[in-house]
Structure 1
Amino acid sequence: MRKAVVAALILGFVWADEPRWLGSDVLRRRVRRSVEAALACLARTQQPDGSWKDMIGRKVCNLYVGHYDKHIGVTALACMAFLAHGDLPGRGRYGKVVERGLDFILKHIDENGYISYSNSRMYSHAFATLFLAEVYGMVRRDDLKEKLIKAVRAIERAQNRYGGWRYLPTSIDADISVTVCQIMALRAAHNAGIFVNKNVVDKAIEYVRKSASPTGGFRYQIYDSEGRRIFGRVSFALTAAGVVALQGAGKYDCDEVRRGLAYLRNQFLINHFPPPHHMRTTFEYFYAHYYAIQAVYVAGGHLWRQWWKRIANELINGQYEDGRWQDVVGPNYATAMAALILQIPNGYLPIFQR
C-alpha cells in the first residue's frame, strides 16, 4: 500500500480517480475547487523561512490566551495538507512549499528531540512528529530518520504515570486531547518503520479506554494532578479523538468504539452539533472534525457516506472567497485543518488510510 501511495504522489494528484461514493458530480467539483483555493491560500501565507503564523498556546477556559507567532504545529498541519494533495518536498506544484516547511521544523528540534518554537507545546510537537513520520515514509531520508527518532523518544519520555500526556513534556497530569495527538504521532512513526516502545502505546491506549464514559462520550481528564479519580467533561471533540486512537490501535469493534461512534452520530447527524458557526468562534471545531472524519472514514458504510456529504458541504459553505477558513487560533490553522478533512478520502497520507 505504501509503495502505491508514493507512486501516486510522484505522478501527481489525479482528481479523476474519485470514487462515486464521494457524492454527486456537483459536490465533487465543489470539493476540488475548495481544496485548490485553500492550498493556494496557504502557499501565499507561508513565511519566507517556511513557517506559518497563528496563535500559540491558547488554552480553553483559562485567562492565558497565548500569543501570535510562527507556529510549529500549524506549519506541520499546513505541510500535511499539501502532502494529502500529492506534493512532496521538492516535488509537485507545491513541492517547494513543503520543502521550506520541512526545513523550518527540522531546524527547531532540540538535542532532546523536542520540537518547539516560541514556547509551543506538546500539541505542536505531536503534529510535527506526525508530519515528519508521514514524510519519512515517502522519501526515506537518513537525516529525517534521525530527527524523527529523537522526536519519538521525546514523546515516549514525556508520558506520565497515568499513561497520558499534557501540555508540557514535564507535566504530571494528563488529558485525552493532548494524549491522542501523541498516540497518532507514534502510530505514524511505527507505520514508517520507526521502533516505538510497545509499553508506551499499551499504557496510552489503556488511558484512552478508561476515559470512555457510559454515555459513549470520552472524558477530558480522569485523574487530577494529585492522582485522584475525577470525572471530567465529555465532548464531541474528545470523543472523536478517543475513537480514532482506539481504531489506530486495531480496536475497531470494541465497546468503547461502538458507543463512541453512536455518540458522534447522534451529536452531528441528529442533534446538528457542533453548529456551523462554531468554526469561526471556537477552538474545538476543526480539531473535532479532523478526528471525527477519520473515525467515520474507518467505520465506513452508511455512516461515512452521510457524514462526508454533510461535512463537505458545511466546510465549503464556510470558506472565504480568498480560500481561507477562520477560527480563534487563526486562518492558517483553520485552513490547513479544513483542507486535510476534505482530502482524507484521497488516501495519500498513510495515517488516513483504512
Structure 2
Amino acid sequence: MLTLTAASVCVAQSPELRFGETVPRDVREMYDRGLRYLSETQAEDGGWEGGQQGPGVDGLCVIAFLASGEDPNFGIYSNQIRKGLRKIIGTQDPTTGYMGNSMYHHGFAMLALAEAYGAVDDRNLWPPGDASTQRSIGEALELAVRLAITSQKKNSLGAWRYSPEAQDADTSVSGSILVGLLAARNSGVEVPDEAIDRAIGYFKSMTANNGQVAYAGGLGGLNESIARISIATLVYSIARRQDLTQYAAAKTYLVDNMDTTGGHYKEYTLYYEAQALFQGDGEAWEKWNKQLIRKLKTEQQENGSFDGSYGKPLATSMSLLALALNYRFLPIYER
C-alpha cells in the first residue's frame, strides 16, 4: 500500500535569502524571458502545444515555473502553475494512474506532481465547486507512483520502457521514471525500497567499467552518450548510492567529457547534465555552468523561447531547468 504523509504548504522565498548567494543577472534575465514565453503560449486548457506535447511536456513547463522561486500560490505565475497542474491531473487515468501515452510523459508528469506536492495549496487548485469532485495533487501523485511500481513489478529487468506493460527497458525512460519516484519519496509518498533498489540494479547492469552507459539490451548497446551517462550519475546521486563503483565510473567519465555536446538531443542532454554535475562535482558544475550561461544567452530567441528537436515548449522548459540549478529552489535540485 502506498500512503501519503502530511505535507505542509511551502511559501517560496528568494533564493538569495535561502542560500545567501546572488543568482547571476544573465540567468535571471534569461529565466524571466523564458517564463514569459511559456506564460504567453500556455493554452486555455493549461497545456502547451507545438512539437512534442502531452503531460510530460506540461510537467516540465510547470516545473520550470516552480524552479524560479516565485510563490506558487500567490506569485505572478501562480495561475499558470495551477492551470498546468489541472491539465496534468485531467489527463490521468483515474483507475490505473497512467498519464499520457508513454512512460516518458508519465515520468516527467509524476516529477511535476512531486515537486508541486506540499508547495501548491490544493484549496486553490480547482475552481470553486470543482474541488470536491477532483483529485488533489497528492492523490494524483499516489496514483502515478502506484502505476510506476506496478509496471516495474511486471518487468523482468526491474525497469521501464515506453509502455507500462513493456518487458524490455531502456536507461532513458527508466531515468525519467526513477527520478520521478525519488522526488515522490522526498515529498512524502511511500515508495518501497525494493523498487528503488531494483531500478538501481538495472542501472548498475547498464554501466560499463569505463563509465559509459548503454541504452538498451545490455552492455552490448554501448556508445558514447553524455545524456545517458548524466542520467545514471544523477539517479545514483539522488538515490544516495555514491558508494557504488558504477557511480564513480560514470561521474568520472562525465566530468572528463563535460564539454562534449548533446548532438541531436541537446536540450535533453543539458537538462540532465546540469543536474548530474551539480550533484556529483560542485567544482566541475561551476565551470560548466558558466559555459552554459554563455551558450544559452546566444541561443535564446527574442520572444524568450529556445529552439529544439521536439518543439519550443520542450526546448524552452528543459533549457530553463538546466539553468535552474542557479536558483537551487526545487527539492529535487538540493544536494
Given the two structures, how large is their TM-score scaled by the length of structure 1?
0.83
Give the direction of change, closer, same or farther, for the CA distance of 1:128–1:83 in structure 2 (3 Å limit). Answer: same
CA distance in 1, matches of 2:62, 2:270: 18
Match of 1:325 in 2: 306
SS of residue matched to 1:44: helix
Identity %: 31
Match of 1:59 in 2: none
The alpha-carbon deviation at position 15 of structure 1 amounts to 8.7
2:21 to 6, 19, 22: 19
Counterpart check, 1:313 vs 2:300: no
CA distance in 2, matches of 1:334, 1:183: 22
The residue type paired with residue 132 of structure 1 is L
Q: Deviations 1:57-102 (Å, cap 9, x if unpaired)?
A: xxxxxxxxxxxxx421111000100001123544201100101001
CA distance in 1, matches of 2:28, 2:200: 36
CA distance in 2, matches of 1:257, 1:37: 36
The residue type paired with residue 158 of structure 1 is S
CA distance in 1, matches of 2:245, 2:82: 42
CA distance in 1, matches of 2:142, 2:55: 18
Counterpart check, 1:274 vs 2:267: no
SS of residue matched to 2:117: helix
CA distance in 1, matches of 2:297, 2:316: 11
- How many correspondences in the alignment? 314
Match of 1:49 in 2: 45
- What is the 5 A alignment of 1:159-174? 159=152, 160-174=155-169
Match of 1:133 in 2: 114
Give the direction of change, closer, same or farther, for the CA distance of 1:221–1:174 in structure 2 (3 Å limit). Answer: same
CA distance in 1, matches of 2:163, 2:237: 26
1:239 to 229, 253, 257: 229
CA distance in 1, matches of 2:224, 2:108: 23
Give the direction of change, closer, same or farther, for the CA distance of 1:17–1:232 in structure 2 (3 Å limit). Answer: closer
Name which of structure 1's ranges 200-209 and 292-301 shifts more when overlaid on structure 2.
292-301
The Cα RMSD (Å) is: 2.3
Match of 2:129 in 1: none
Contact 1:54-1:74 at 8 Å conserved across structures: no
Contact 2:171-2:228 at 8 Å conserved across structures: yes
Contact 1:222-1:232 at 8 Å conserved across structures: no
Q: Deviations 1:133-171 (Å, cap 9, x if unpaired)?
A: 111132464822111111000011111110110011111
Q: Which consecutive unaligned segments of at least 5 residues does structure 1 have? A: 23-27, 57-69, 224-228
The alpha-carbon deviation at position 236 of structure 1 amounts to 0.8
Q: Deviations 1:282-325 (Å, cap 9, x if unpaired)?
A: 2x211111111111111244212211111121122211111110
Match of 2:139 in 1: 146
Name which of structure 1's ranges 212-221 and 324-333 shifts more when overlaid on structure 2.
212-221
SS of residue matched to 1:137: coil
Match of 1:65 in 2: none
Match of 1:99 in 2: 82
The alpha-carbon deviation at position 262 of structure 1 amounts to 2.0
- What is the 5 A alignment of 1:52-91? 52-56=48-52, 70-91=53-74
Contact 1:108-1:115 at 8 Å conserved across structures: yes
Counterpart check, 1:32 vs 2:20: no
Contact 2:103-2:163 at 8 Å conserved across structures: yes
- What is the 5 A alignment of 1:141-220? 141=122, 143-159=136-152, 160-220=155-215
The residue type paired with residue 6 of structure 1 is C
Counterpart check, 1:6 vs 2:10: yes
The alpha-carbon deviation at position 336 of structure 1 amounts to 0.4
The residue type paired with residue 216 of structure 1 is G
Name which of structure 1's ranges 309-318 and 199-208 shifts more when overlaid on structure 2.
309-318
Contact 2:214-2:220 at 8 Å conserved across structures: no
Counterpart check, 1:287 vs 2:268: yes
The residue type paired with residue 253 of structure 2 is Y
CA distance in 2, matches of 1:5, 1:268: 37
Give the direction of change, closer, same or farther, for the CA distance of 1:203–1:99 in structure 2 (3 Å limit). Answer: same
SS of residue matched to 1:19: coil
Q: Deviations 1:215-268 (Å, cap 9, x if unpaired)?
A: 211111134xxxxx7434341110000110111110124322222122112322
Contact 2:9-2:120 at 8 Å conserved across structures: no
